[in-house]
């Protein structure tokens, strides 16, 4: 089982656009994961995206999908801070690491 967790903080002036992007991608992202959970903090300025896969190969295929590439672009463009964890170990503070996993 592989688990990827991203904590993302959208730029305040891009919060609405990030929420819209995430909501439009949610259903298609789910198709690429064994499990997908997207939580929004109570004040709405932080998101936790948690995805799980049955194998490393499934994870790598999912991260190359159009939906994850769009999500990565939205995070890169609309967010000011990102923390990425893989299997409960912090990996990076930049979404570009996804292409290397």
Q: Where do the structural domains in the chain lie, given as residue ranges? A: 2-100
The dihedral region occupied by 61, where left means phi > 0, alpha psi between -120 and 50, and beta the remainder, is alpha
Q: Look at the pTM and tell me if it is higher than 0.75.
A: yes
Fold of 2-100: Alpha-Beta Plaits (3.30.70)
71 membership: H or E segment, kind and range: helix 66-78
How confident is the model over 88-92, as a mean pLDDT?
Answer: 91
Question: What is the enclosing helix (H) or strand (E) of 80?
Answer: strand 79-86
- Tens-place pLDDT, residues 14-53: 999 999 999 999 999 999 999 999 999 988 889 999 999 9
């Amino acid at each position: 089982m592989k688990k990827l967790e991203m904590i993302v903080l959208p730029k305040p002036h891009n919060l609405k656009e990030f929420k819209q992007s995430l909501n439009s991608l949610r259903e298609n992202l789910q198709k690429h994961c064994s499990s997908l959970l997207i939580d929004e903090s109570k004040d709405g300025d932080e998101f936790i995206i948690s995805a799980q896969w049955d194998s490393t190969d499934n994870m790598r295929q999912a991260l190359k999908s159009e939906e994850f590439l769009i999500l990565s672009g939205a995070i890169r463009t609309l967010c000011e801070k990102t923390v990425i964890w893989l299997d409960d170990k912090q990996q990076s503070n930049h979404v570009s690491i996804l292409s290397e996993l």
